[in-house]
């Protein structure tokens, strides 16, 4: 989801900055929040809706429902009661929009559901019934991905056109509800995705596109890197590293497959989407409330763009990173000024960790504001620290007008 020629990234010596402000949250209104701050939320027994920092959000997206027998349903019935508990919090936070997400990584059924007019009608009717039953404020479609059989999900070339039809018909259906509905979809942070959607047409029917600018490099990557970078990274920024050597060795193979490697980042994909006709105000960029770690990483360049011996942790929530790694004297925090992203490296343990921290999520939020984007979202709320100086608090503070 980085320094010219010489990749000697300067450690800025920035201790984690909390940016805490003395606000009376009961007095904060949506009018004072200058962009969308949207959280995906997976219910947890230890993190009930009444304990969530909902005053710092404009939208919360309960995750997930699935396409089951052609309809939108919970896979586990008990989630219905948990969703009701979340919706009940609007009594205390009347400006909050409570939405439902359908899909997620590895979720199947979309291609078959969207393939015919009859199937789409059945699905839309189920969405209308679902959102009416739970008194929701909207829907997020997380189809990963149209026409791409990721995680062995069903896919067909016609998904490209059928996705447009699905979003159009969802908008028409949701518009019949008495309660105003927000319609969004989760999009990828890499260009190939947009070859398989009619993006200008789709955007006519939705409020926001939630760009998943995380997982930009996976745990199985043969080299380390940033999984959720903000800054525009060029190939020249990784020259003279093992990452560059690996990519050079695969250049011909990639060419045969019609693929060109481009380092991924928020700035790259936002620029690409705007060039292809997406209105900035409809783009919501993503932050990661989790990190990825590799083991067996040599100390050259403080571990960045180096070979590794595999995943140390496929992912770990920010709360775990702060407690176990940021606080560990064997780990040093580095700042990459090109990627505008932090990372942790332990020469003792040979472990490299890519993640977002309070500094980087504030920069992402400020980037969204400066460029008049729709706002910022993140996966997912339960991964944040429960301390006052949380990732969400850093986003929220940056989103308040005049701060």
Which active-site residues does the annotation give?
A: 144
Euclidean distance between the first and the last CA atom of the chain, given in angstroms as a whole number? 28
- Name the nearest CA neighbour of 81 among 48, 104, 103, 127: 48
Residue 325 DSSP symbol: I
Question: Residue 400 burial (CB < 10 Å; 0-12/13-18/19+)?
Answer: middle
- Name the nearest CA neighbour of 74 among 136, 144, 150: 136
Quote the CA–CA distance of 297 and 331 in Å, as a whole number: 13
Token pair for residue 97?
Answer: 């929009």
Residues 6+ apart with CB under 8 A from 258: none
Quote the CA–CA distance of 29 and 255 in Å, as a whole number: 52
Residues 6+ apart with CB under 8 A from 16: 322, 326, 357, 358, 359, 389
Question: Residue 6 burial (CB < 10 Å; 0-12/13-18/19+)?
Answer: exposed
266-286 b/e (C-beta count within 10 Å ≥ 16 → b): bbbbbeebeeeebeeeebbbb
Quote the CA–CA distance of 314 and 320 in Å, as a whole number: 13
Q: Are residues 364 and 35 in contact, defined by beta-carbon separation less than 8 angstroms?
A: no
Q: Are residues 282 and 203 in contact, defined by beta-carbon separation less than 8 angstroms?
A: yes
- Name the nearest CA neighbour of 395 among 97, 37, 59, 27: 37
Residue 307 DSSP symbol: B
Distance, CA of 65 to chain centre? 18
Q: Are residues 170 and 127 in contact, defined by beta-carbon separation less than 8 angstroms?
A: yes
């Amino acid at each position: 989801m980085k320094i010219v020629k010489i990749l000697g990234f300067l450690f800025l010596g920035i201790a984690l900055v909390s940016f805490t402000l003395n606000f009376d949250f009961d007095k904060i209104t949506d009018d004072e929040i200058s962009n969308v701050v949207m959280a995906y939320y997976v219910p947890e027994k230890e993190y009930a809706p009444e304990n969530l920092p909902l005053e710092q959000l404009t939208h919360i997206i309960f995750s997930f429902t699935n396409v089951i027998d052609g309809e939108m349903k919970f896979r586990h019935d008990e989630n219905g009661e948990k969703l009701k508990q979340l919706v009940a919090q609007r009594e205390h936070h009347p400006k909050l929009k409570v939405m439902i997400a359908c899909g997620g990584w590895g979720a199947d059924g979309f291609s078959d559901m969207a393939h015919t007019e009859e199937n789409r009608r059945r699905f839309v009717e189920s969405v209308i019934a679902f959102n009416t039953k739970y008194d929701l404020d909207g829907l997020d479609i997380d189809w990963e991905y149209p026409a791409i059989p990721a995680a062995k999900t069903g896919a067909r070339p016609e998904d490209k056109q059928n996705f447009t039809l699905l979003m159009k018909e969802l908008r028409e259906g949701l518009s019949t509800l008495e309660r105003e509905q927000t319609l969004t979809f989760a999009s990828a942070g890499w260009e190939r995705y947009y070859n398989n959607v009619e993006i200008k047409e789709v955007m006519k029917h939705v409020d926001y596109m939630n760009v998943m600018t995380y997982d930009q490099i996976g745990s199985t990557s043969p080299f380390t890197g940033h999984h959720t970078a903000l800054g525009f990274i060029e190939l020249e920024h990784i020259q003279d590293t093992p990452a560059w050597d690996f990519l050079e060795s695969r250049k011909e193979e990639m060419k045969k497959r019609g693929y060109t490697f481009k380092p991924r980042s928020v700035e790259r994909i936002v620029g690409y989407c705007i060039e292809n006709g997406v209105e900035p105000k409809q783009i919501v960029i993503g932050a990661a409330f989790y990190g990825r770690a590799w083991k067996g990483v040599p100390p050259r360049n403080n571990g960045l763009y180096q070979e590794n011996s595999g995943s140390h942790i496929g992912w770990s929530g920010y709360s775990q990173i702060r407690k176990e790694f940021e606080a560990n004297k064997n780990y040093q925090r580095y700042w990459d000024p090109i990627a505008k992203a932090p990372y942790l490296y332990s020469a003792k343990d040979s472990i490299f960790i890519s993640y977002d921290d309070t500094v980087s999520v504030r920069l992402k939020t400020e980037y969204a504001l400066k460029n008049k984007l729709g706002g910022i979202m993140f996966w997912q709320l339960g991964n944040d620290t429960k301390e006052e100086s949380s990732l969400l608090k850093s986003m929220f503070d940056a989103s308040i007008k005049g701060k």
